[in-house]
Amino acid sequence: MFKNVLFLSAGLAAVLSAAPVAAQTEIAWWHAMDAELGKKLEEIANGFNASQTEFKVIPTYKGSYPETLTAAIAAFRANEQPAIVQVFEVGTGTMMAAKGAVYPVYQLMADNGEPWDPSGFLAPVTGYYSDTDGNILSMPFNSSTPIMYYNKDVFEKAGLDRETAPKTWAEVEEFSKKIVESGAAPCGFTTGWVSWIQLENLSAIHDQPYGTLENGFGGLGTEFTFNGEVQTKHWENLKKWADEGLFEYGGPVGGADAPPKFYSQECAIYMNSSASRAGVINNAKDFEVGFAPLPYYDDVTTDPKNSIIGGATLWALNGKDPEVYKGVAQFFTYLSSPEIQAGWHQFTGYLPVTNAAYELGKEQGYYDANPGSDVAINQITRGTPTANSKGVRFGNLTQIRTVVDEEFEALLAGSKSAKEALDAAVERGNQILRDFEAANS
């Protein structure tokens, strides 16, 4: 795809062969993938570098997602920014507000004559990373969505069907009671990412607004609305189930205590990112894992909407020479090829961000050979994304998630009711939004 074939006369070829080789244009890529993910990312960069001779992508690990974003912002201010930076989905609003810093990917590809078909990406992916005119602003790379993992062996010990996961929250409660009361496990379920899974995704699946202006997609003047009846009911239930010993809190942010509770068979059900799949399989040495979509309240909806994405995309930053952007565009074309995307998805557990990569996986027999590996894809692509289910896009969302965690812990401690905790989270979150709006207007 990227090889330039030159038809030269023998004489001219001889002259050129004696000439010095032109220096490759280097493309700096800052990312937040460490360990095995980082090695796979470097393998992809090396593959592109070997596919042509004009450009060299140089990936550099810059720490966690927040650290990478902070480093990129600081570098841009010092005019030392990379050409490409990986930014997690909660940083999208911040990147969009960084006027003049970003080279939108749809424009980048058009300017450099590279093929670009937004319809080739999964609909929830394009919906989340697009502006209000439908233009994709950053290159989809590693996208995930939360799913439910469950311990088939514990289910069987509790007298449940090991092949049947709970579909609704009523069934989660019913199954958890059987599991605890039978002594099959001391806990029914746990979760990572309370903010992402038990509030943002809960709202999306039930088609409930998380904020005004299409969950922040429509502008900086958005306000939070996640203190509605459905969200309040769910948090009331989580508090009740925690008091009854059916639910165990896994901790704030990603929930560092949640995975060990599942791996040790303390909790029979575990909700977390689809990108946790490889880790779950590797750590569940003593039992068989089942995979299922997130549960829903069937008294609220019988047609649950798509879940929403996590993960990150790649942003091109302004301030580089045209030759650099030519290479960035070619690299993005390489990244979105079915073979590269399918390989990344199958190795990591992240979603295949293109339809072609998903189809290639089916042709390869990957999903048949790995039961449950398509749960996340089926969940995030069911139906047509609505204004409430296409995602949430707010400035300083990382800070707001911290507020949500603090208020959830106040609920569990008994110092606030579910409504009081959610009302406080909305009030505090709205102040963060106003501060962000003032700084970026």
CATH label of the domain that carries residue 25 = 3.40.190.10
Q: What angle do CA 130, 385, 97 make, to 5 degrees?
A: 25
**Contact present, 158 and 179 (Cβ < 8 Å):** yes
Please indicate, yes or no, whether residues 353 and 254 belong to a single structural domain of this protein: no
Q: What integer pLDDT is reported at residue 94 of this predicted model?
A: 85
Instruction: Give me the mean pLDDT over the 245-260 stretch.
Output: 95
The pLDDT tens digits of the residues spanning 199-210 come to: 999 999 999 999
Please indicate, yes or no, whether residues 210 and 124 belong to a single structural domain of this protein: no
Please indicate, yes or no, whether residues 156 and 236 belong to a single structural domain of this protein: yes
Residue 378 domain flag: no
Q: What integer pLDDT is reported at residue 375 of this predicted model?
A: 96
Please indicate, yes or no, whether residues 124 and 150 belong to a single structural domain of this protein: no
Residue 159 banded pLDDT, cuts 50, 70, 90: very high
Number of structural domains found in the chain: 2
Lowest-confidence range among 10-24, 167-181, 233-247, 279-293? 10-24
Please indicate, yes or no, whether residues 319 and 279 belong to a single structural domain of this protein: no
Lowest-confidence range among 159-173, 238-252, 274-288? 274-288
Q: How far is CA 11 from CA 7, 14, 20, 188, 427, in A?
A: 12, 5, 17, 77, 76
**Contact present, 198 and 172 (Cβ < 8 Å):** no
Q: What integer pLDDT is reported at residue 22 of this predicted model?
A: 66
The answer, yes or no, to whether residue 18 has pLDDT greater than 80, is: no
Please indicate, yes or no, whether residues 109 and 181 belong to a single structural domain of this protein: no
The pLDDT tens digits of the residues spanning 36-77 come to: 889 999 999 999 999 999 999 999 999 988 899 999 999 999
d(CA 90, CA 85): 14
Please indicate, yes or no, whether residues 196 and 248 belong to a single structural domain of this protein: yes
Among 329, 348, 364, where does a domain finish? Answer: 364
Residues 6+ apart with CB under 8 A from 120: 336, 354, 355, 356
Concatenated DSSP letters of 41-59: HHHHHHHHHHH-SSEEEEE
Q: What integer pLDDT is reported at residue 13 of this predicted model?
A: 43
What distance lies between CA 70 and its chain's CA centroid? 19
Residue 380 domain flag: no
Residue 381 domain flag: no
- In the chain, pLDDT over 70 holds for what percent of residues? 95
Residue 97 banded pLDDT, cuts 50, 70, 90: confident
Residue 13 domain flag: no
The answer, yes or no, to whether residue 2 has pLDDT greater than 50, is: no
Q: What integer pLDDT is reported at residue 21 of this predicted model?
A: 52
Please indicate, yes or no, whether residues 195 and 286 belong to a single structural domain of this protein: yes
Q: What integer pLDDT is reported at residue 14 of this predicted model?
A: 43
Instruction: Give me the mean pLDDT over the 314-342 stretch.
Output: 97
The answer, yes or no, to whether residue 8 has pLDDT greater than 90, is: no
Lowest-confidence range among 6-20, 129-143, 391-405, 412-426? 6-20
Residue 35 banded pLDDT, cuts 50, 70, 90: confident
d(CA 350, CA 408): 28
d(CA 392, CA 387): 9
Residue 133 banded pLDDT, cuts 50, 70, 90: confident
d(CA 156, CA 290): 12
The domain of 267 spans: 146-307+388-440
Residue 129 banded pLDDT, cuts 50, 70, 90: confident
Please indicate, yes or no, whether residues 351 and 396 belong to a single structural domain of this protein: no
The answer, yes or no, to whether residue 6 has pLDDT greater than 50, is: no
Residues 6+ apart with CB under 8 A from 74: none
The answer, yes or no, to whether residue 423 has pLDDT greater than 70, is: yes
Please indicate, yes or no, whether residues 411 and 285 belong to a single structural domain of this protein: yes
Residue 15 domain flag: no
Residue 411 domain flag: yes
The answer, yes or no, to whether residue 17 has pLDDT greater than 50, is: no
From the list 103, 100, 94, the residue with the least C-alpha distance to 139 is 103
d(CA 65, CA 63): 7
Q: Where are the alpha helices (DSSP H) in 168-283?
A: 169-182, 194-195, 202-205, 212-215, 229-243, 258-263, 277-283
**Contact present, 137 and 316 (Cβ < 8 Å):** no
Residue 376 banded pLDDT, cuts 50, 70, 90: very high
